[in-house]
Amino acid sequence: MSSIALPKIGTTDRWDGLRPLALAAPLLLLLLFSFGAPIVALLSRAVYEPTIANALPHTIAALRQDSGAGVPGEPVFLALAADLKQAQAAGAVYEFAKALNTRLPGARSQVLRVARIATQDQATGKEAMIKAAPLLGEEQSWAAIRTGTNRFTSFYLLSAFDLRWTERGTIGAVPADQAVFLRVFGRTFLIATIVTLATLALAFPLAFVITNLRPAVAGMVLVLVLLPFWTSILVRTAAWTVILQKFGLLNDLLLWLGLTSDRLELMYSRTGLIIAMTHIQLPFTLLPIYSVMRSVKPSLVRAAQSLGARPFTAFWRVYLPQVMPGVLAGCLLTFILCLGYYITPVLIGGASDQLISNFIANYVNVELNWEMAAALSFVLLASTLGLYVTLTRYLGLDLFKMG
């Protein structure tokens, strides 16, 4: 009898595994097309940049004929003039000049000038072109052009770490006055850490108190915590500017209480930013901790104490390990959300409190350098995923099981 029944159970099991997947398939497909594909398309701009190669087909061919490094000979310049003329007609010169300018500061205006001259059919030779665009007479410019003709580039990803290819073909640091991103990444992670710890310090006792309140009162306290959670982040940030500004509510209160003798500079400062971010993030840390605390049986702590454990030992060895998954989940959630903060640093932070998202937005909106934005986004995404994987793998935390 069992020999007949067993394979049947086996097939049901297999179908059981597929059925939820089939149910989720429409959602997964939607996510893939509306979320996954655009992200991949944007991130690919960080490593795939065909602008220079597309603009210079003749020059690339001529460069292959030209032997050796350094400034090439007359044929390459003639080919370059032809390419620029073609690009000018197709309206592609600007994109090319901008792409080259990223690698070779100052190239933009010279390329545009030489393209205008090439279109008028004057001075297509080497000497005349170098006269119009002195950069073309320098070895490092041609090194930049040669590496630029490769459609796949590591330039932007290296730049995201303040690195570059040096003239000798090794990877080195960029000049000090251009080094930005390591500092900004460090700052982003630092502020996210401080805000996470601050929310934990506030959320843990609060969650503990709420768990031990009568259900009716607990519900009211929870609503008080959640009410701001349902308000737009922009509104909450604007509200904080009213409170934190120099002649704002907080400064008035502190002066009135006699706690300070001078008005504090809280707006456009890191202190103000951390206060506002901590408030906004509090529910994200609190709710996972609270949901786990509610499921912990109080009898276990009492049992520990009745067996002779002191209150601290009972808390440390019996209570804390049980609520730890909630603490880790709440902290991870807050930390990851903090990494992507944009609007609060803009409105409350000072110039040296801008986070990586602000730089990504600047590259997308103002500088139109979407490649650099993609590279920075990639580093941010990779470090976030890396953090998540590390925590789930080594600390045994499973966010999916938390839900």
Shortest spacing between CB 364 and other proteins, in angstroms = 6
Q: Which helix (H) or strand (E) holds 291?
A: helix 270-295
Shortest spacing between CB 108 and other proteins, in angstroms = 6
Shortest spacing between CB 22 and other proteins, in angstroms = 34
**Alpha-carbon distances of 350 from 104, 246, 265, 329, 347, rounded to whole Å:** 30, 14, 11, 30, 8
Torsion of CA 285, 289, 290, 295, to 10 degrees: 160
Shortest spacing between CB 341 and other proteins, in angstroms = 16
Of the two residues 111 and 318, which places its CB atom closer to other proteins in the complex?
111
> How many of the chain's residues bind other proteins (CB under 8 A)?
37
| Residue 115 neighbours by CB distance under 10 Å | 25
**Is residue 262 a contact point for other proteins (CB under 8 A)?**
no
Write out the binding residues for other proteins, residues 297-326 only, by CB under 8 A.
none
Shortest spacing between CB 252 and other proteins, in angstroms = 12
Q: Which helix (H) or strand (E) holds 171?
A: strand 171-173
Of the two residues 204 and 268, which places its CB atom closer to other proteins in the complex?
268
Binding mask 360-379 for other proteins (x = CB under 8 A): --x-xxxxx-----------
Of the two residues 226 and 235, which places its CB atom closer to other proteins in the complex?
235
**Is residue 267 a contact point for other proteins (CB under 8 A)?**
yes
Shortest spacing between CB 319 and other proteins, in angstroms = 44
Cβ contacts of 269 within 8 Å, gap of 6 or more = 349, 350, 353
Binding mask 336-355 for other proteins (x = CB under 8 A): ----------x---xxx-x-
Shortest spacing between CB 47 and other proteins, in angstroms = 20
Binds other proteins by CB under 8 A, chosen from 38, 105, 172, 386: 105
Of the two residues 149 and 354, which places its CB atom closer to other proteins in the complex?
354
Binding mask 164-193 for other proteins (x = CB under 8 A): -------------xxxx--xx---------
- For residue 344, which of 358, 329, 331, 330 has the smallest C-alpha distance? 358
What are the beta bridge partners of residue 164?
Answer: 172
| Residue 318 neighbours by CB distance under 10 Å | 18
Helix axis angle for 370-394 and 320-339, nearest 10°, is 180
Binds other proteins by CB under 8 A, chosen from 42, 98, 147, 340: 98
Cβ contacts of 387 within 8 Å, gap of 6 or more = 332, 335, 336
Longest dimension (CA), the chain: 97
279 — alpha (psi -120 to 50), left (phi > 0) or beta? Answer: alpha
| Residue 261 neighbours by CB distance under 10 Å | 7
**Alpha-carbon distances of 201 from 191, 205, 325, rounded to whole Å:** 15, 7, 16
Of the two residues 307 and 366, which places its CB atom closer to other proteins in the complex?
366
Cβ atoms 96, 111 nearer than 8 A: yes
**Is residue 93 a contact point for other proteins (CB under 8 A)?**
yes
Of the two residues 237 and 334, which places its CB atom closer to other proteins in the complex?
237
Q: Specify the length of the chain in residues.
A: 403
Shortest spacing between CB 275 and other proteins, in angstroms = 17
Check residue 165 and report its DSSP letter: E
**Is residue 95 a contact point for other proteins (CB under 8 A)?**
yes
Binds other proteins by CB under 8 A, chosen from 91, 169, 215, 403: 91
Cβ atoms 244, 266 nearer than 8 A: yes
**Is residue 138 a contact point for other proteins (CB under 8 A)?**
no
**Is residue 131 a contact point for other proteins (CB under 8 A)?**
no
Binds other proteins by CB under 8 A, chosen from 206, 265, 322, 342: 265
- Applying CB under 8 A, the residues found at the interface with other proteins are 91, 93-95, 97-98, 101, 105-106, 108-109, 112, 177-180, 183-184, 245-248, 265, 267-268, 346, 350-352, 354, 359, 362, 364-368
